[in-house]
Structure 1
Amino acid sequence: MQLSPTALVLLGLLMAAWVAVAAGLMIAAGAKTKAAENARKASRRMARMIEEAPAIPLLVRTDGRIEASERLAGWLGLSRLPQYLGDLAGSEGGRGIGAEQLAQLAALVSRTQKTAAPFRMAITPAGSQRSLAVRGTLADPQVAPGGAALLWIFDFSESENELANLRAEASRARADFAALVGLIEAAPMPMWFRGTDARLKLVNRAYVAAVGAESADAAVAAQAELIEAVDGLSAAQIAAQASQRKAPIERIVAATIGGQRRSLRVSDLPLGDDGVAGYAIDIEEMEELSRVFRAWRDAQRDMLDQLPVGVAQFGADRRLSSANQPFRRAFAMRPGASQGLEFERFLREAREAGRTPEVRDFPAWRAERLEWFLADEPVEENWPLSDGTHLRIVAQPMPDGGLVLIAEDRTESLALSATRDTLLRTRTATFDSLFEALAVFAPDGHMQLWNRRFAGAWGLDDEALGGHPSADELVRQIAPLLDRPQQAKGIGEIVRGATLDRKQTAGRVSLADGRTLEIAGVPLPDGNGLLTVLDITASQLAEDALRERNQALEAADEVKTRFLANMSYELRVPLTSIGGFAELLKAGVAGELSEQAREYVAAILESVQKLTDQVENVLDLSQSEAGLLPLSRTRFDVMPFVTRVVRERETAIVSGGLSLDLRGSKALKVDADERQLGRAIGQLLDNAIAATPRGGKILVDLSRKADGLRIVVSDNGKGMTAAELRRALEGLRTGPDGKPERRQGLGIPLARQLVEAHGGTLEIVSRPHEGTFATITLP
């Protein structure tokens, strides 16, 4: 087939176009290949830069998966980076992010993914000192489409430590500065600070008060000086001199403060290149004391000359500085002896005059007396002289190294003391022969003399009085022996009234052993006080018995009247009516009853009987709560008494298949009302019998403890819960209408009231399925 020239031309043009397109495509492919190579190089360079960057990117996708460099695992203390954000807590010995911080981070990431809100937070990996800062934003779609979050994590551990140290140092500096300012401001002495130009910059409140300024700022603004100019130099000029010398300057000057001239010790202290600080100490009192001391010393020497006791003063150089006339006469000092006499020479001249004791080795004796100057406390000696004179010598070392020597002529006082001892022995013998118990107290409260009956009257040992105790010490010894220890204070008041107030007082006290003593304090002419003690137990018992019997009769009459007026009609009449109608029904007055009706009537009669018993309990409980329950106390043996109470319930115990164990000593006695105390114990026994199942055990234990007689009634029954026990103890209470209402059984409340009426206590402890433990404590 032959082609036409036109076709050949077209075919050539087509081939040329295809070659041109192919060449263009090849050129474009080469350019794209070069661009891809450049992109790969840039990507590797960017990845390396990110690896070397101080921040690590963390990409968190919406499903919780994460993408980051393994370097982040090292920062978090993990061996490798997990796939999900929740796994950053790690399980490698407490490494990774803490649970609380991880939960907070997850919440912030979720919020950023939903709202595109950026966030910042700081985290501390567990078990690490590293501090990491996290900045999160919503990732660009080109980085991670689909709402992923991009987190940048920075390590700012060094900055955080440095900031923490700086904060701590700043806090300490602020605290120290505040304390220093507070100390200066609260100082009682005027204090100030001057700048390098010697002008006032800061003053405290004491300075403001001293110069009479309105405030510290006003004092600084006015440059009010506390110290006046001395020798033409002002206080500012003196401070400038101290700053130039770089050494403190201290001086004593006078200043007017509060309208008074005061002596001040002023100090200016240079503070390097910062300025000069100053303070002033008021030494007016010290100067005044110095003047007073000089005047007192002169007056003392004049006074010593008027004393009948010889007094001499030796200085630290052991030379005589002063001696009064009695001292000179006691040691026969020659008229020419003056101040400056050495102590050793004084002793030698006194020995020559026969005014020292006769000793075998005088030099050794004198050397021992020289040690008086170095003694720590006064030394006292008795010097019997050859002419019969007896001197009492007291050597008092002084703080300055000197010695005060006191010589007292006790010749006449010793003779009087011997006569006095004879009189005292005669008085003691007279006291011991008296029927009453007597004791003599000095004005300072110490016991001086007592007879043999005194210790026995109080039940004390003779050794307790051997040390001549004071009235307060005697009261403390007597207090435990009294029936009411608070009465011991009255004994001290009686002694004080006889010795100090000089008036006669009396009183009565009851001892714990049942005795009653009548005591009286009588002032004596010599300033002492006489305490007399008489045992009036017998007469007091008779008087108390008559009084208690009369009170019991009055209380019984009042209770009877109240019962007849308020309770008899309200309780007994309706109860009697119910019982009567029930008996009529039982007797067939209303017609023949069916078997079921007869059971109902029998139940009514049984309830009436129980209610009658409860009425009795209510009446007794009401009287007890009103404080009107009459008690007839007698002293009786406890063991036979409790045995009778138990025997009265023998039938109920045996029929219930119970066992009862009664323990206790037969020597126990108590002062109580047998009937009322028996009812209290009986109520507890009834409750124990009712609460104990067949085969159970009841224990009654009697013992004497330090706080009194203890009666324990316990069982191993069903017990009570705390709420049940509380309701059982409430018993009978007054309702809103003013009438008594029943909260629970009256047995326990009645027993408690009866025990408290005897001055005792009732404690009940109960646990479900374990039993109940009731304890009666009687004084």
Structure 2
Amino acid sequence: MELSPFALIAIGLLLSVWTVAAAWMMIAASSKSQKAEGSRKAARRMARMIDEAPAIPLIVRTDGRIEGSDRLAGWLGLESLPEYLTELDAGEGKGLSADQLAELNENVRRAQKTAAPFRMALTPPGSQRSLALRGVLADPQVSPGGAALVWIFDFSESESELSRLREEAARAKGDFGALVGIIEAAPMPMWFRGQDAKLRLVNQAYVRAIGADSADTVIGDQIELIESVDGLTAAQIASQAAAQKMPIERNVTATIEGQRRSVKVSDLPLAGEGVAGYAVDIEEMEEQSRQNRAFRDAQRSMLDQLSIGVGQFDEDRKLVFANQPFRRSFALHSGAVAQGVAFDRLLSDARENGKTPEVRDFPAWRAEHIEWFSAGTTQEEAWPLSDGTHLRIIAQPMPDGGLVLIAEDRTEQLALSATRDTLLRTRTATFDSLFEALAVFAPDGHLQLWNRSFAGTWGLDQDKLDTHPSAEELLQAIAPNLAKPKQAKAIGEVIRAATLDRKEQGGRLALADGRTLEFAGVPLPDGNGLLTVLDITASQNAETALKERNQALEAADDVKTRFLANMSYEFRTPLTSIGGFAELLEAGVAGDLSDQGKEYVTAILESVSRLTDQVENVLDLSQSEAGLLPLNKKRLDMLPFVTDVVREREGAIAESGISLDLRGSKVSGKIEADPRQLGRAIGQLIDNAIAATPKGGKILVDLSKAKGVAQIVISDSGEGMTRQELERAMGYAAEAGTSIAKQGLGIPLAQQLIEAHGGTLSILSRKGEGTTATIQIP
């Protein structure tokens, strides 16, 4: 059958449509297959992500069945996840405990009925794992029918960290409470300022210091403890500390509990939180510091007064003080202390100045002495210097690491010690060489020292004295040697008086061998007593002989007295007769005389006059030497009296062609003297001056008075005498015919007469320059 073209076209169109439909269906099927595969992959990926997620979902249906991952069973310690929620309590330490399960079941039912979410945390029994549960009503697309979705998180590590943080927070809270308690109980004022420098916290010491009612009052009124210093308040200084991020410390004066005290204030910035501050009372420390400075100044002032050199070195071995003797000992310059000279440098400079002993290795010697600073004991050395100085060096280490160096100049002491040793040896030798027997007793009566003569004088054994016996034992040994043994007690009394009573006593006794001893006790300055014994046997015999001789002298004196009286009569009577007959012859009683006879008579009269004067001088001199010269003292005015004596010799002065100058005034005063005898003495000296002065010469007589003593000076410009001639003139030992012999007995007689008045005569003469005689009468 043949088809029409239209039918063919329709069949073609139909086939095309079927082809297109088949192709579309094939393409749609392929797309759906690809989508299904993508869904399966996404489902597997989501399942894998859920398995590896930190949280595990658990679906709890209304009938109690549960759906979840087997990983949850591992968290709960189960081999597999059970079918129902109630089966999570597997017992034997697996799953959840009954209480935990009951709480979970209650929360799940509440969420299913009320859609209220819940949270809980639990730790399965026997496990260290901490689980956090968050439950909500499940979305119908997840699980229709009102199931509950519970997300379970393992926060074991977070729980450990939270536990640690809780412990640290609790510990920090406790520490903070303890710190607050310490701050409150602190005896010093403490405070805290905020970033605005205002007070936020103060302790009770702060409140008490300013006398406030409470800490709230202090903070509310912003009452400051520390006053403004140099225009800056305490808050401003705290702000400076915060800005500089550095603590600021200062010493100020504040009023604490009504008293002005020195305090040390510290402001400490606290890392952007604010500024803490505290005030330490340093009043006692300041007072001790002031006392220490005063003590140090007083000590150094005292050390400056010592004659011993003292130098102080600090812990850095530098000189910080040296008194004047120390500077002299080491020849230090004036700026040594100010410059703080080091100890080793001081030794080096001292060596250059010869102030250290000569040593072979000076560096080693210096290093050895530097070790004095670390020595634990006092060091002492003797330094003999090259100039003969001896220094005693004492080094005293100080607790602060310093050193006190003491230098004592013992040169004089050593010299005195040597002198003392010499004196002691000399005293011992002198003590032993004395003729007297000597012994020294201590206050307790024991014999200490004695010389060689002591044992022999008392007839004692030397070995007995070597035992230093007591006075009682010594007297017992002496008693048998005495003529009267009982007299030994007298020796004991003398020893006791010298040692205990500090009095001098003496006595005399006879020994059995006929000797006579005189003893005496003398107290010594050191408290001991000296017993001195002298054998006076010979002096006793001499005393007897002297008594006999004295009696003979007294008899001879009587004979001399009678002789002088007879000699006065025998001399004067013939001279008076010769003079009388010569005057008769001169008067012409026997007739007129020739010129030559008159010359003879005149010569006889002059000789008689001169001989009479000489006889008077001899008699007066003899009586003066014998102490028999009579004196009739009167109150005499010096100037008129001496003037009369000079006028009696005007004729002789004129004949000799010399001049006489008399000086004096009423100021010369008065004296008590015999006018006749003193006039003879002065006249003799003037006559000697006239005889010794050549023609044209001059004689000076000067009267004066000083300090109650009258003085008469007679000087001439005559020949003068040598020293030997003056000595012979004073003793009238001149040869006849010499110029000295012409003076006769003038000078010795004048001296005797002046001394009889209690005065003195001194003569000064030089050959060719004249003679000066000075009379002084009180």
- The alignment's TM-score, normalised by the length of structure 1, stands at 0.35
Bigger radius of gyration = 2
- The alignment's TM-score, normalised by the length of structure 2, stands at 0.35
